[in-house]
Amino acid sequence: MGSEAIIVFLLAGIVLVAGANFLSNLISPKSDNSQKREPYESGMTTIGPTWVQFKVGYYLYAILFLVFDVEVAFLIPWAVVFKEIGMVAFVEIIIFLVILGLGLAYAWKKGALKWE
Amino acid sequence: MGVNNTSEIPADFPGKVIPGGNGANILVTSLDDIINWGRANSLWSLYFGTSCCAIEMMQTGAARHDYSRFGFEVARPSPRQADLIIIAGTIVNKMAPVLRRLYDQMAEPKYVIAMGACAISGGPFFYNSYSVVKGADHVIPVDVYVPGCPPRPEALLEGMLMLQAKIKTESMKNKVFPIDGFDEGL
Amino acid sequence: MDTTITNNFKTEEYQINMGPQHPATHGVLRLLLTIDGEIIKRVEPDLGYIHRSIEKMCERDSYQQIVHLTDRMDYLSSHINNEAVCLTVENALQLEIPERVKVIRTIIAELTRIASHTLWWGVMGMDVGALTTYFYGFRDREMINDIFEETCGARLTMNYNIPGGLMFDIHPNFVKRTKEFIAHFKTKLPEYDLLLSNNVIFRKRMEGIGILTKEDAISFGASGPVGRASGYSCDVRKHHSYSAYDKVKFNEVLKTEGDTYARYQVRVLEMWESLSIIEQLIDNIPEGDFFAKTNAVIKLPEGEFYQKVETARGELGVYIVSTGTKNPYRMKFRSPGFSNLSLLNHIAVGGKIGDLVATMATLDLVIPDIDR
Amino acid sequence: MTNEALQNLISSWIPELEFTEEKSQFLNITVQPEQLHQLMTQLKSNPDTNFDYLYCLSGVDWGKELGVVYHLESTTHRHQIVVKVKTEDRENPTFDTVCNIWYTAEFHEREVFDFFGIQFNNHPNLKRLFLTEEWDGFPLRKDYVDEINMVIK
């Protein structure tokens, strides 16, 4: 019984996204000029090559955020069924959180969050 | 309000009225109305205050005069997400190419309000000034001019409502981009 | 050997435009940032995006016309700019100004200072991320605008001063409305502290960054709240008092830390001082006419004249070289924002971009005042 | 210190200085470009004068010669003086920079260079501040003509 719901949701998702894109493409006026492709830098042209190796700290911040974002994504369905399953679900989630907490502690100690 | 866009025919109209087009535009006009209604009531302005008029624009954005009652809810810093430039202040020779680049980088459909005497014609800096561009329409095509130095918040609101009325008269088929032919001086 | 992950990769410095159209630059100031990741290595301001050549125009305008231009220079303390030019002309002509004019000028100057500081406070919060302060600040500023609109006829560029006195007398219920404003603002100012000053995030972001020592403040010519936050007593109202400031008792707000939070505190405390100045003057505005007799075409005697005035941003100086004709031979405005901006590179290097935004917000820059 | 005391003290350092007081509120000193830097360093470092606040540095076109006017104030003694320096040479006017004495001079001198074309040798980064790089001519000079932008009235 559950499989039809997944298909319906999948279809609804695809239709909505594709429809919105197609409709806006159909209606919106399009104009192009030399400056439109330029990267926007508060009204000026960029200085020097923009393809340069900058600090890796940005990437580490993004990854840490992503990990905890996905974690919350897992928490939500858990919270829905948490009441019926009872104690087992609680222990599972604690293990899950501790593992992620360990990951954060490791990154913190190794200095991923330090900016200088 | 300025532009009268109601389409009913006045009573004392001499002669017969011939509906335009082959009837297909019944759908298009109604689609136009919906699109124009959507566009007119959700114009996002760009952060572009150069001098004193910017303070009056900020006062219009604050609680008392509040232009978000008319759909100008958000002022966006980047031209990619803005539909409307309110040129609040003087445009100087060094700033003109920047303004032109911001206008070009904005997504269609885009509108321009020239707020204040400086943006309309150079204002108090018209005479004896070697660095002021005498009016923003030397740089980009302007839709609505709001006079005043600085114009009162109510005047700016009136200008915005006029722009909304102007948008409501547009039609998708014969949409003319104001920038075409602007450089050649048409 | 530094084991932190982030230092094993070689990173290059690159340059970014914190350009003319940027929410944090309060106008069209372009900062060329040389940065390595988030750390700022160098800040180089590039000005001129709102340079309207006011000094060239002054050489062809009469003195009454010049007063109009100074409104548009530092538009947040426009009344005090007008007062600067009018005082220079009056001192040059040795005009005797009635007492009533001096007191009214001082009251409206202090109201302008409060209006400018409330706007600064609102936008300061917005720069650091607290959006509600914008609406609180503008609510109080609107009350002052109403008072100005009734008395001077305009909300922002008042030009209520003309060389020789005031354009017209104060409105009958000017005194009543100013008292109402004082009563209202006295209850609202503690609200400012409640909302922003003691907010933990706000203080953590502001304390200890952009530190300016007293010697650097003097050497960079920092004036106004920026100088006073570093312990440098530079209040023109105290040292070279003009108008009715010598008849008023107020203390100069001085802090010694010189960091961004100190500059913030100096401005908020200054609003209390302005309120007390207005209170001392509002009840005893002397009677008398509001205009000293001057001939229509004002011709300054031969020579050079300089007048200092304390605007909301700092010390504005008007330097006129006159050859006796009806318009000045050379006119120079010493703008407070220009010197306050010149120290930005000195205090912002080493900090992060977020700190630069907070530091610039407390420098309270008005770009047409810098570019003139 | 009063103007007379200042005048005696300063004239003891460099003999050929002209002191005037009429047509201005402060003591005016006109100095030759060669002795400018030496006079300024002494004005700042001498404890009796201690002019540590240069509050206004303005370029002036006096018709035939180009000049720079320095307004100095002492934050301790609260007295003020005006130092003037002039040069006849309009093609390549150069003075010594004072930005190693007062940091504020760096920006002010760039502004004077931008509007008057006065060079300041050993200035760290002397280029146009307000106008664009390719702007020709120096706008605040009396003989500046610009038909395109300027509408004369």
Chain B residues with CB within 8 Å of chain D CB: 93-94, 126-132, 134
Return the DSSP state at B124.
G
What is the tens place of the pLDDT at every residue in C282-318?
A: 998 999 888 888 888 899 999 999 999 999 999 999 9
> Which C residues 345-364 touch A at CB under 8 Å?
352
Contact D151 B134 (CB under 8 A): yes
Instruction: Please report residues of A whose CB lies closer than 8 A to that of C22.
Output: 42
| Interface with B, mutate which of D151, D152, D153 (most B CBs under 10 A) | D151
pLDDT, residue C141, reads 93
What is the tens place of the pLDDT at every residue in C135-165?
A: 999 999 999 999 999 999 889 998 899 998 9
What is the tens place of the pLDDT at every residue in A64-85?
A: 999 999 999 999 989 988 888 8
Task: Please tell me the distance from the alpha carbon of residue C47 to that of residue C57, in angstroms, as a whole number.
Answer: 19
Contact D25 C330 (CB under 8 A): no
User: Which is more confidently placed, C120 or D2?
Assistant: C120
> Which B residues 50-69 touch C at CB under 8 Å?
50-52, 54-56, 58-59, 62-64
pLDDT, residue D146, reads 78
Percent of chain C residues topping a pLDDT of 70: 98
pLDDT band at residue C224 using 50, 70 and 90 as cut-offs: very high
Residue type for C255, please? K
Instruction: Please report residues of C whose CB lies closer than 8 A to that of D139.
Output: 53, 56
Residue C1 pLDDT greater than 50, yes or no? no
Least confident span in A78-87, C171-180, C331-340: A78-87
C305 touches chain D (CB under 8 A): yes
C26 touches chain A (CB under 8 A): no
Task: Please tell me the distance from the alpha carbon of residue B14 to that of residue A10, in angstroms, as a whole number.
Answer: 59
* Count of all residues that appear for chain B in the document: 186
Physical contact, B and D (3 or more Cβ pairs within 8 A): yes
pLDDT, residue A25, reads 86
Q: Which residues face C315 on adjacent strands?
A: C310
Task: Please tell me the distance from the alpha carbon of residue B49 to that of residue B85, in angstroms, as a whole number.
Answer: 10
Instruction: Please report residues of C whose CB lies closer than 8 A to that of B49.
Output: 27
D146 touches chain B (CB under 8 A): yes
Give me the helix-helix angle, C99-128 and C260-282, nearest 10°.
150
Whether the predicted interface score ipTM is above 0.85: yes
Least confident span in B68-72, C7-11, C255-259: C7-11
pLDDT, residue B27, reads 61
What is the tens place of the pLDDT at every residue in D16-58?
A: 888 888 888 899 999 999 989 999 999 999 888 889 999 999 9
Residue C88 pLDDT greater than 90, yes or no? yes
Residue type for A73, please? A
Chain C: closest CA distance from residue B75 (Å): 10
Chain C: closest CA distance from residue B84 (Å): 15
Chain C: closest CA distance from residue B104 (Å): 14
* Nearest to B92, CA basis, from C51, C70, C26: C51
Residues 6+ apart with CB under 8 A from C189: C268, C271, C272, C275
Instruction: Please report residues of B whose CB lies closer than 8 A to that of D152.
Output: 127-128
Residues 6+ apart with CB under 8 A from C223: C234, C236, C314, C315, C336, C339, C340, D55
pLDDT band at residue B2 using 50, 70 and 90 as cut-offs: low
* Nearest to C291, CA basis, from C112, C120, C102: C102
Residue B18 pLDDT greater than 80, yes or no? no
CB C269 within 8 A of CB C83: no
CB C86 within 8 A of CB C241: no
Q: Which domains does chain D have, with CATH numbers?
A: 3-121 (3.30.460.80)
Fold classified for C54-370: Cytochrome-c3 Hydrogenase; chain B (1.10.645)
Task: Please tell me the distance from the alpha carbon of residue C281 to that of residue C106, in angstroms, as a whole number.
Answer: 8
Contact C317 D53 (CB under 8 A): no
Contact B105 A34 (CB under 8 A): no
pLDDT, residue D12, reads 87
pLDDT, residue C5, reads 60
CA angle D62/D67/D69 to nearest 5° reads: 110
Q: Which residue has the tokens 């700190």?
A: C355
Residue B5 pLDDT greater than 60, yes or no? no
Chain A: closest CA distance from residue B105 (Å): 5
* Nearest to C166, CA basis, from C112, C116, C99, C114: C99
- Closest CA in chain D for residue C315: D55
Contact C72 B55 (CB under 8 A): no
* Nearest to C166, CA basis, from C302, C41, C290: C290
Residues 6+ apart with CB under 8 A from B102: A43, B46, B48, B79, B85, C21
- Closest CA in chain D for residue C314: D55
Chain A: closest CA distance from residue C12 (Å): 6
Ramachandran angles phi, psi of C308, nearest 5° = -105, 145
What is the tens place of the pLDDT at every residue in C15-61?
A: 888 889 988 888 899 999 998 888 899 999 999 999 999 999 999 88
Instruction: Please report residues of B whose CB lies closer than 8 A to that of C21.
Output: 46-48, 77, 98, 102
A40 touches chain C (CB under 8 A): no
